[in-house]
Amino acid sequence: MRALLLGGALMIGGAMMAQAQQAPPDPKDPRIGLKAGIHDAAVAARHMELVSNLPKPAGFFDPEFPAGQPAPPERAEGEAPPPPRDPNAPPPPPPRGSGFTNSDLAFKGVHAVVGNYHGFNTYDIENARRPKLIASIVCPGGQGDVSIWGNLLFMSVEQTRGRLDCGVQGVTAPVSVERFRGIRIFDISNLKNPKQVAAIQTCRGSHTHTLVPVKGDPNTLYVYGSGTSNVRSGEELAGCSGLDPKEDPNTSLFSIDVIKVPLKNPEKAAIVNRPRLFADPTTGAISGLWQGGNHGEGTQTSRMTNQCHDITVYADIGLAAGACSGNGILMDISDPENPKRLDAVTDKGFSYWHSATFNNDGTKVVFTDEWGGGGRPRCRATDPLTWGADAIFDIVDRKLVQKGYYKMPAPQTDNENCVAHNGSLIPVPGRDIMVQSWYQGGISVFDFTDSNTPVEIAFFDRGPLSDKGMLSGGYWSSYWYNGQIYGAEIARGIDIFELRPSEFLSENELAAAKLVRFEEFNSQNQPTYVWPPSFIVAKAYLDQLDRAKTIDPARSKALRAALDQGDKRQKATLDELDTMAGGLERDAAAPGAADAKRYKAMAAAIRARTARLR
């Protein structure tokens, strides 16, 4: 690759590309050079603690190949791909050990569900230090992404071995009424004995899915199904077509599946729309976005946009963000049955747009790039910091405006698959903080409050699964839920973590984050974080003002003293706090006020709590 460093930017093929807005890798980073091992690998952690691990249960790993088999070598540049498989031949069996990958996570109350290519496992997480396996449900078919709504669990199925009856024998015939590819629905009223109540067949299967609630209609739920695999034969499922739109305008490519679920009768769930989200608004051509290929010399090669890998909805603000192979897109979902594209962007460093996360204000989106498909080492010292990374976009007038990049900064080895993957927000008031999986690059927690300059604030990493070859492993998903971080480790089970106070994150900020509680959590159906009236929230804002040095130390000391006494309900103290809140509001309203947003938020937090106590 021809590259010249000019004025802090990277000159590639004659085009300017911004470098990642983060510090360069630290050669003394403790994640470098960790000892390999499946269950005895060395560990490096900073500002987070592993409090428990449950290995994968029996039946969800191959005892002979507990971490799968080594990945085949990558094709050399210019090497021709293998010939296409005969569509009439039986599908090949997966390599030994590869059909037991842990995938996504969903939560309900004190329970967690870990999806797996072989089915799913349910856990009691009431005591984070002593989680318990409740049940293992065998139902193969990959990818096994899971979501929960009430007493219903939704699971994505994409592989050709999936069966309607959840059988383990697979399906060998090229066309079969026994095959299932789509979205399963289980009744999980009894977590020890879930029952499949619906199975919605789709043309490309379901790689991922997203639950979309309907405002004002608690009896209806929509599901956006994203299929990324080959289109199945029309003989197997009527209406399926993998033809180019020029040959068949009703092709199953260039769309997503919108499924309507009557919650009182989930067995009646059905596809109601296949919106053409990638259409050219001028010509109407359904293949109107990225056409595939690269962006010029030295840039990434990315696929044609004919699918979405993942869609995140933020129903409270009526928006969704789609990571759709060659594009990131912003959608209006005010009518969830008929989503509309608002904007689409590309990135010269992105290979495959993978997933998206909004900030809590709904003013930013973090898009991820799964360069190498998740099964290749893409965090080596020689890999660019803007490839296989996060791209941060501000949302301005319902358009996406690109800002900075973030990539887990510790160089990994050739034996560690590593690239940006699934994560979620951590509800620290006044800041945009995200926890994220990087496969065998571990878990990274970073602050992107400044869209241009994201900063890592905590991490956890193990050494590679093997030092003799690349076995696919590491964290598929890492999510914050009701005070802890949960990580679905592909080969090693489920891990639970506690964040620890540091110079980057105060004890008050962590305590405020733990005030936010949910009965359910699905990361692709992003909730709004709302903090209850508490002086802890005000103290979190005060810590941020102190850290930024945007408040006078004497004033900070007086505020902190009053806040410490506030919950004693003494009228004089509450009156003093309300007076202080008024001063903060006046300062926030002053022209050119520094940190005005935090001053205003702190005042609001104080007033909310004093009103509750009076």
* Domain CATH for 478: 2.130.10.10
Q: pLDDT tens digit string along 79-114?
A: 777 777 665 666 666 677 678 999 999 999 999 999
The residue from 486, 521, 556 where one domain ends is: 521
> How many domains does the chain divide into?
2
pLDDT at 4 over 50: no
Is beta strand 270-273 parallel, antiparallel or unpaired with respect to 293-294?
unpaired
Q: pLDDT tens digit string along 217-273?
A: 999 999 999 999 999 999 999 999 999 999 999 999 999 999 999 999 999 999 999
The residue from 460, 490, 521 where one domain ends is: 521
Task: Tell me, yes or no, whether 572 and 453 share the same domain.
Answer: no
Instruction: Quote the pLDDT of residue 439.
Output: 98
pLDDT at 296 over 70: yes
Comparison of pLDDT for 78 and 525, the residue scoring more: 525
Q: How confident is the model at residue 22 (pLDDT cuts 50, 70, 90)?
A: low
DSSP notation for 242-273: -S-TTT-TT-SSS--EEEEEETT-GGG-EEEE
State the chain's mean pLDDT as an integer. 93
Mean pLDDT over 451-480 rounds to 97
Task: Tell me, yes or no, whether 515 and 550 share the same domain.
Answer: no
Task: Tell me, yes or no, whether 239 and 160 share the same domain.
Answer: yes
Q: pLDDT tens digit string along 541-578?
A: 999 999 999 999 999 999 999 999 999 999 999 999 99
HSE on the CB side for 456, CA within 13 Å? Answer: 24
Domain containing 242: what range?
Answer: 3-18+42-74+95-521
Mean pLDDT over 184-192 rounds to 97
> Angle, to 10 degrees, between the axis of helix 553-566 and the axis of helix 596-613?
20
Q: Which of 480, 393, 476, 397 is nearest to 434 (CA)?
A: 480
> Angle, to 10 degrees, between the axis of helix 571-589 and the axis of helix 596-613?
160
Q: Which two tokens stand for residue 294?
A: 């690269």
Mean pLDDT is lowest, of 57-61, 73-77, 412-416, for 73-77
Mean pLDDT over 376-402 rounds to 97
pLDDT at 5 over 60: no
pTM score of the predicted model: 0.94
Task: Tell me, yes or no, whether 163 and 270 share the same domain.
Answer: yes
Task: Tell me, yes or no, whether 475 and 609 share the same domain.
Answer: no
